[in-house]
């Protein structure tokens, strides 16, 4: 009976050691995940701040106004926009020919 109890004690002690190792590994995984989370959070906050600066800048507001004016003068699908597009393509072809020569 004493041998059986000592064997049971040793196996339970070994199981306890394995559980402690698993717990330690899990804690390390949690620490690593928390560190990665903080890095991602900091990057997100930095990106959000930069985006906010861009959106609130004068240049961005000017670009938005210019796009609005351009879209009202040259609406999508209009003949004016098609003529403008042909002009862009023609200018691009002329410029590319000059670069080759």
Q: Which two tokens stand for residue 99?
A: 């670069």
- Return the pLDDT at 6: 63
Residue keyed to tokens 């906050």: 45
What pLDDT tens digit does each residue of the chain (101 aa) get?
A: 555 556 676 677 788 888 899 999 999 999 999 999 999 999 999 999 999 999 999 999 999 999 999 999 988 888 888 888 888 787 877 777 766 66
Contact 73, 79 (CB under 8 A): no
The answer to whether the pTM exceeds 0.85 is: no
Of the chain, the end-to-end C-alpha distance in Å amounts to: 101
Whole-number Å distance between alpha carbons of 89 and 67 = 20
């Amino acid at each position: 009976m004493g041998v059986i109890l000592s064997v049971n004690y040793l196996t339970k002690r070994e199981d306890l050691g394995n559980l402690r190792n698993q717990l330690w590994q899990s804690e390390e995984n949690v620490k690593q995940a928390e560190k990665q989370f903080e890095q991602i959070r900091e990057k997100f906050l930095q990106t959000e701040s930069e985006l906010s600066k861009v959106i609130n800048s004068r240049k961005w507001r000017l670009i938005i106004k210019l796009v609005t004016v351009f879209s009202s003068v040259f609406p999508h699908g209009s003949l004016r926009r098609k003529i403008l597009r042909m002009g862009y393509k023609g200018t691009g072809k002329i410029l590319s020919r000059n670069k080759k020569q």
